[in-house]
Structure 1
Amino acid sequence: MTDAIVPDTQHKGLVAALPLPWRHYASLARFDRPIGWWLLFWPCTWGLFLAGATSHWVTVGWLLLGSVAMRGAGCVFNDIVDADLDARVARTAARPIASGAVSKRAAWAWIMVLAAVGLVVLVQLRWQAQVVALGSLALVAAYPFMKRVTGWPQAWLGLVFTWGAPTGWVEATGFAHPAPLGPLYLGCWAWCMGYDTIYACQDREDDALIGIGSSALSFGRHVRAGVTGLYALALLGWAGAIWLVRPDPLALVALVPVAIHLGWQALTLQPDDGAGALRRFRNNRFAGLLMAAACYVVGAAA
C-alpha cells in the first residue's frame, strides 16, 4: 500500500465524546461510520421510489432507522465471528471484540438491543414487505463465513447489503408487478460487489497473508477492469428496471449522473492506494443519492 491504513478505531464526532464503555459499543455498531447504513438504506429508497411510492416519507424515515439498527447488528455479529481474523489485520486489530475490550457475551446482548429496534421498524411495514425483509436473515448469518470458503465473498455481500431494494419495492406494490424487481436487484448486487471490491483493496496484503478470500485478490491485476465491469452491469440492470417501469428513452437519461460518477470511481481507481480506495468507496453514498433521485423522477412520472 502506498498510504498508511487508517485503523477502524479512530473515532470522530459524537462517538469520540462518549464515555469509554459506551464508545466501545458504539464502535461495534459502527455508529461513527455512517457510510455503512447509507449503503444499506439507499436501495430501500430505490425500490420504494421506482415503484411509485414517491410521497411515502414516513416509510423512508422508518427504513433509515432500520438500516442504522440492522447494519449495526450485522457489524456486531460480523465482529463476533471474525474476532480471530480481525486480531491479525492491521486495520481491525483494535476493534472492541478482537482487542478484548468487549466480551462476546456482551456483544450478543448488544445485538439483541439493536434487533429490537429493527423489530419496531419491521412492524411498520405491510406484511408482504415483512416477509421479504425476514428473508434476508439467513443471508446475513452466512456472510461472515464466506471469506473462509470462497475467494468472492463480495458476491455474497451483494445479495445481503442490497436486500432493501426488494423490501422497498414490495412495501410499495405488495407482490404485484414484480418484473422490474429482477433487473433492479441485479444492478444493486453488481453495484455492491463493485464498491466492496474497492473497499477490500485496503486489506489485500493482510488478507493474502492470513489466507482469506477477497474479490480484490481474486481479480488480481484486473481489479480496475473488474470494478468497471461490475459498475457497467449495475447500470445495465438499473436501465432494464427503469425501462420496465417507463419504456421511454428519456427515462434512461435519469441514470446519466450516477453513470458518470461510477465511471469516475472505476477509471481513476488505483488498487494499491489504500486511502484513495477508501475515498472512492465512501463516495458511493453520493452515488446512492444520485440513483435515488433517478428512481424518484422515473417513479413520479410513471
Structure 2
Amino acid sequence: MLGLSTAGLVQRLRVAGLAWLRSPRGCSLGLARATGAPPLGDWRSPAPSEPRGRPLSLSAAAVVSSAPRPLQPYLRLMRLDKPIGTWLLYLPCTWSIGLAAEPGCFPDWHMLALFGTGAILMRGAGCTINDMWDRDYDKKVTRTACRPIAAGDISTFQSFVFLGGQLTLALGVLLCLNYYSIALGAASLLLVVTYPLMKRITYWPQLALGLTFNWGTLLGWSAIKGSCDPSVCLPLYFSGVMWTLVYDTIYAHQDKKDDAVIGLKSTALLFREKTKQWLSGFSVAMLGALSLVGVNTGQTAPYYTALGAVGAHLAYQIYTVDIHRPDDCWYKFTSNRTVGIIIFLGIVFGNLWKEKRTDETNIQKKVVE
C-alpha cells in the first residue's frame, strides 16, 4: 500500500515538473542549464520575510536613480550621480579656508558648508553650460551620447531655465560673503561660460579648466580675510592649476580617439606618449608651489608630511596609469579626491600644531626668565 502511494506521488511530481518546464519560465531555466549558462534568476518566489525591491544604497548614482523620474534627467545634467567633479571644485576652496584660519583653530565650518553648497550649484551650472555648448559633439562620443541634452531628455529651453535656477541659487550663496568676495566670485562667471569652447580652439582646454576650477583658492581666503594675500593666494592658485592639468589630462585620455575623429583638442592629444613626463613636471610644480605656500603661512610638520604623502600618491598615480585603458584613466582620475583631502587635512593639523608650538615656546621663555 505504501509502495503504491509512493509510486503515485512520484508520477504526479514528474507530470507537474514536465508541465512547468514547458512554461516560459521553465524553458528559460532549462535552456540555461542545458547550455551551461547561469540561470536568469532564482525561480523560487521570495519568502514572505524576504525584502522586496532594490537594496538600499547611499551612493550618489543610487540616490539619483531613486529620485522621481521627471527629476532624474536634471540631476544627471548637473552630474549629481558623479560627484567627483564637485569634490575637485570644492577641495581647493577648503585649502584656502583652512589656511586663512587663525593659528591653533579649526577652519570656519560655516564657510566650509557655504562653499560646499556653492560647489554643488556651480559645478551643476558649469556642466549644464558645457552640455549646452557640446550637445552636437556629445552625440558622436560613446561615453557622452547618453547625456540628457544630447539624448533628447531635456530640451535647450528647459536647460536654459534650469541653468537660470542654479545660477540664482549660487548668487544667493555668493551674497552671503563680503563685498570683495562677491566681486571676485562674479568675475569667475566668464571662465565658467567660456571654458567649454576652449577644446575647439586650443590643445590646452585643461589649462582653462584649471583656471576655472581653482578660483575657490582665491575666494576662500578672501571670504575669511576680506581680501587676497598675493604671497599665499597666487602660489596656491598656481598649485591648483597644475593639479588640474594632472588629473584632467588623465581624464582626457578616455576620449582621445573620439576627440581626434570629431576635431576636438586636448592635452591628451598634444602630449600623446609623452604624457607621463608632462604630468611629472606638473606634479613637481604643484608641490613646489604648495611648499612656498607653507613657508609664507608659517606651516608646520603635519603640513609638510601631507605634501610628502601627496607626492607619493601622484608618483604612483602617474607611474601606474595606463593611458590606453579608459577604465584605468577613470580610476586614476577619481583617486585625485584623495590628493585634495590629504592636503586639506595637512593644512588643518598643521594649523593646530602652530598653537602647540607657540605654547611650548612661551613655556620655555618663562622658564628662562
Q: Which has the higher contact order (CA 8 A, sep 6+)?
A: 1
1:246–1:298 CA contact under 8 A, matched in 2: no
Q: Which moved more, 1:51-60 or 1:212-221?
A: 51-60
2:118–2:173 CA contact under 8 A, matched in 1: yes
Give me the whole-angstrom Cα distance separating, in 2, the residues matched to 1:27 and 1:250: 38
Q: Give runs of aligned pairs for residues 27-42 of structure 1, distance below 5 A.
A: 27-42=76-91
Give me the whole-angstrom Cα distance separating, in 2, the residues matched to 1:15 and 1:251: 37
Does 1:50 find its partner at 2:88?
A: no
Does 1:228 find its partner at 2:280?
A: yes
Number of the residue aligned with 2:135: 83
Q: Rate the CA distance shift 1:31–1:247 in 2: closer, same or farther, 3 A.
A: closer
Q: Rate the CA distance shift 1:104–1:177 in 2: closer, same or farther, 3 A.
A: same
Number of the residue aligned with 1:4: none
Does 1:295 find its partner at 2:347?
A: yes
Number of the residue aligned with 2:309: 257
Does 1:22 find its partner at 2:71?
A: yes
Q: Which moved more, 1:170-179 or 1:264-273?
A: 170-179
Q: Rate the CA distance shift 1:176–1:282 in 2: closer, same or farther, 3 A.
A: closer
User: Secondary structure of 2:195's match?
Assistant: helix
Does 1:201 find its partner at 2:250?
A: no
Give me the whole-angstrom Cα distance separating, in 1, the residues matched to 2:144 and 2:158: 19
Structure 2 counterpart of 1:37, one-letter code = T
Output the aligned Cα RMSD.
Answer: 1.6
Give me the whole-angstrom Cα distance separating, in 2, the residues matched to 1:178 and 1:116: 30
Give me the whole-angstrom Cα distance separating, in 1, the residues matched to 2:149 and 2:228: 44
Give me the whole-angstrom Cα distance separating, in 1, the residues matched to 2:61 and 2:97: 32
Q: Give runs of aligned pairs for residues 1-302 of structure 1, distance below 5 A.
A: 12-52=61-101, 54-175=106-227, 177-246=229-298, 251-302=303-354
Q: Which moved more, 1:123-132 or 1:147-156?
A: 123-132
Displacement of 1:253: 2.9
User: Secondary structure of 2:220's match?
Assistant: helix
Give me the whole-angstrom Cα distance separating, in 2, the residues matched to 1:248 and 1:15: 42
Q: Which moved more, 1:286-295 or 1:244-253?
A: 244-253
2:300–2:350 CA contact under 8 A, matched in 1: no
Q: Rate the CA distance shift 1:147–1:176 in 2: closer, same or farther, 3 A.
A: closer
Displacement of 1:250: 7.3
Give me the whole-angstrom Cα distance separating, in 2, the residues matched to 1:50 and 1:298: 9
2:135–2:149 CA contact under 8 A, matched in 1: yes
2:303–2:347 CA contact under 8 A, matched in 1: no
Give me the whole-angstrom Cα distance separating, in 2, the residues matched to 1:286 and 1:220: 26
2:302–2:347 CA contact under 8 A, matched in 1: no
Give me the whole-angstrom Cα distance separating, in 2, the residues matched to 1:299 and 1:79: 40
Displacement of 1:61: 0.4
Displacement of 1:288: 0.8
Structure 2 counterpart of 1:104, one-letter code = T
Give me the whole-angstrom Cα distance separating, in 1, the residues matched to 2:192 and 2:251: 19
Structure 2 counterpart of 1:69, one-letter code = L
1:224–1:271 CA contact under 8 A, matched in 2: no
1:198–1:216 CA contact under 8 A, matched in 2: yes
Deviations 1:170-223 (A, max 9, x none): 112222633111111110000011100011110010011111111111001111
Identity of aligned residues (%): 35
1:15–1:31 CA contact under 8 A, matched in 2: yes
1:152–1:214 CA contact under 8 A, matched in 2: yes
Give me the whole-angstrom Cα distance separating, in 1, the residues matched to 2:230 and 2:267: 31
Displacement of 1:116: 1.9
Displacement of 1:264: 1.3
Tell me the TM-score normalized by structure 1. Answer: 0.92
Displacement of 1:295: 1.8
Structure 2 counterpart of 1:16, one-letter code = S
Tell me the TM-score normalized by structure 2. Answer: 0.76
2:300–2:353 CA contact under 8 A, matched in 1: no
**Bigger radius of gyration:** 2
Displacement of 1:242: 1.0
1:254–1:297 CA contact under 8 A, matched in 2: no
1:51–1:172 CA contact under 8 A, matched in 2: yes
